[in-house]
Structure 1
Amino acid sequence: MTTPIARGSCRCGAVRFCAAFPSKWVSHCHCEDCRRAHGAPLVTWAGFPSEQFFLEAGAESLTWYESSAGAKRGFCAVCGSPMLFQSVRWPGEMHVARALFSDPLDQEPNEHASYASRVPWLDVNDDLPKNASQN
């Protein structure tokens, strides 16, 4: 029996990846760092154990930026798509921008992280837990 996976890529397709299930979590993040890195009011992330995340193509196009001490963000150097996040705060995890997956995941978002940092101009009217800090 093969392990179920989900595939995805950056906007231009230069960087392609897959992640094996189960995912650890899927969450909407409202922190200022994520908002600024993606130019969006929130970013939905899927967390995977690092050993379950695989680059299928484009390692040479994946560029890492140290966004804060102990944290880095990966993006495509060709099209600029923000893609990945790793931090010493969550060792052994690869966080992947949910919108980049072309395949369904094994779970839907189950919370709003850093909700206290949210932008005031977006109403969030779902029933998911709204946690003040990042998990």
Structure 2
Amino acid sequence: MYQGSCLCGDIRFEFDRFEGDFVYCHCRSCRKASGSAFGANIAVPVDAFRLTTGEALLGTYESSPGKVRHFCSRCGSPLFNRVEGAEHLRVRLGSVDTDIRQGPKAHIFLGHRADWDRPSDDLDGYEEWPDFSKVKIAGTTKRD
């Protein structure tokens, strides 16, 4: 079982599995939502995710049509997002309290990265979407 929470601890959640690889996404939307150089998210099936406390504090923001981002209305921590009708949530790895032993697979949307962002690891990098024969992002409908 994986557990997570917001910064103030008033919202808590759990999930029993996640699917696919995770990537560092450097698109403008992920940068803005994370307040950092990239977003790091894992795909969690909707039926595997449960809020355990703090549901009344959960704030939402529809960042694009049908895509709702969920955050703590008290401390502002970004927690997860969901696209309308999708079978997976995108859970922000920074909000997960339990160790996730799987490492990142790639950097994506490097063509959108901030000028000051200089990834220096040995992960594969893609200007836009990755090569889906090498990187398995569960729940996405995008294909190159």
Unaligned runs of 5+ in 2: 130-141
What residue in structure 1 maps to residue 80 of structure 2?
84
1:103 maps to a residue whose letter is T
Q: Quick one: distance in 2 between partners of 1:52 and 1:25?
A: 17
Q: Which residue of 2 aligns with 1:71?
A: 67
- What are the residue-to-residue correspondences of 1:99-114 with 2, within 5 Å? 99-114=94-109
Matched residues, number: 130
Unmatched runs of 5 consecutive residues or more in structure 1? none
2:3 maps to which residue?
A: 7
Which AA in structure 2 matches 1:27?
Answer: V
For residue 37 of structure 1, give the secondary structure of its aligned residue in structure 2: helix
Q: Residue 120 of structure 1 is aligned with which of 103, 115, 119?
A: 115
Does residue 1:33 correspond to 2:29, yes or no? Answer: yes
- Answering whether residue 43 of structure 2 is matched by residue 47 of structure 1, we say yes
* Residue type at the aligned position of 1:12: C
Return the alpha-carbon distance in structure 1 between the equivalents of residues 100 and 16 of structure 2: 10
After superposing on structure 2, the runs of 4+ consecutive aligned residues of structure 1 that deviate more than 3 Å are: none
CA contact (8 A) 1:25 1:48 kept: no
CA distance in 1, matches of 2:43, 2:70: 14
In the alignment, the residues of structure 2 paired with residue 70 and residue 129 of structure 1 have an alpha-carbon distance, to the nearest angstrom, of 30
Partner of residue 14, structure 2: 18
- Given that 1:24 and 1:49 are in contact with CA atoms closer than 8 Å, whether structure 2 keeps it comes out as no
Structure 1 vs Structure 2 CA RMSD: 1.7
SS of residue matched to 1:25: coil
- TM-score of the aligned structures, taking structure 2 as reference length: 0.82
